[in-house]
Amino acid sequence: MQRLLTPLLAFVLLLAPCGHGRTRVFHYDSGLGVASESGGTICLTIANRNLPVGQIVSLVLLTPQQAVVQTEVLRVLPNGCQNPEPAAANQASYELRIVKGTLPSLAPAIAVVNPPRPLRQSGNFVVADLNGDHQLDYFRQCTSSEGVHLTVWAGKPLTGKRLWHEYFYLGYDVEPNCTDQDVADGHP
């Protein structure tokens, strides 16, 4: 019996890392952040204090058309980004460097750290199945009176479930186009 169990156990142990890789959990809170370029510096704010220098960070641009820019962590910014809204207690700020693509100045982008599955372009949208539920996640932005609401949705924006939400302060008044679903308070 033991002669049968030992190879079986070894087989299971060999498979375990593969299975773990396939089902790696994506944490929206610590895996998503907000990045923008200002004065030549790309700054990321994210609820994750453990990003190493060189960590690849994908930025989902939302204007004028959705696209992905690849960046990497250059250094920690102990004093945070220059957004007037201070970072929350659990947030950290990092300077990023572009690896591939271009980033329009001052436009906020949604940063994705270590997605289990790649981001890809689907028509006018960037999509990804971040949590492995076989449903594509979509990225969206809209404006309130003086800021941008950045959101990630399970399925098409405003019809699926909102999975993540952050606010980016602009510091000037704009024409609002957000819906109640975009700005509703509460987590996420």
Tell me which residue has tokens 């030992």. 6
If one asks whether residue 146 binds another protein (CB under 8 A), the answer comes out as yes
Q: Please, which residue, 70 or 143, has the CB nearer to another protein?
A: 143
If one asks whether residue 11 binds another protein (CB under 8 A), the answer comes out as no
How far apart CA 116 and CA 106 sit, in angstroms, is 28
Q: Please, which residue, 26 or 164, has the CB nearer to another protein?
A: 164
Structure tokens that stand for 114 in this block: 């270590």
Q: Which of 21, 52, 78, 84 binds another protein (CB under 8 A)?
A: 84
Any residues with CB less than 8 A from the CB of 96 and at least 6 apart, and which? 35, 42, 43, 44, 57, 59, 71, 72, 73, 74, 111
If one asks whether residue 87 binds another protein (CB under 8 A), the answer comes out as no
Helix (H, G, I), strand (E, B) or coil at 119: coil
How far apart CA 2 and CA 109 sit, in angstroms, is 56
Question: Pattern 109-128, binding to another protein, x per CB under 8 A?
Answer: --------------------
Tell me which residue has tokens 């957000």. 178
Q: Please, which residue, 127 or 178, has the CB nearer to another protein?
A: 178
Q: Which of 15, 76, 85, 121 binds another protein (CB under 8 A)?
A: 85
If one asks whether residue 172 binds another protein (CB under 8 A), the answer comes out as yes
How far apart CA 67 and CA 50 sit, in angstroms, is 26
If one asks whether residue 132 binds another protein (CB under 8 A), the answer comes out as no
> Of 166, 164, 170, nearest to 147 (Cα)?
170
> Of 108, 116, 166, nearest to 137 (Cα)?
116
If one asks whether residue 29 binds another protein (CB under 8 A), the answer comes out as no
Min separation Cβ 175 and another protein, Å: 5
Q: Please, which residue, 56 or 87, has the CB nearer to another protein?
A: 87
Of the candidate spans 5-13, 44-52, 103-111, 151-159, the one that interacts with another protein by CB under 8 A turns out to be 103-111
Regarding beta strands 92-100 and 67-76, do their DSSP bridges make them parallel or antiparallel, or are they unpaired?
Answer: antiparallel
> Of 91, 112, 103, nearest to 37 (Cα)?
103
Q: Which residues bind another protein (CB under 8 A)?
A: 38, 63, 84-86, 88, 104-107, 143-149, 167, 169-176, 178, 183, 185
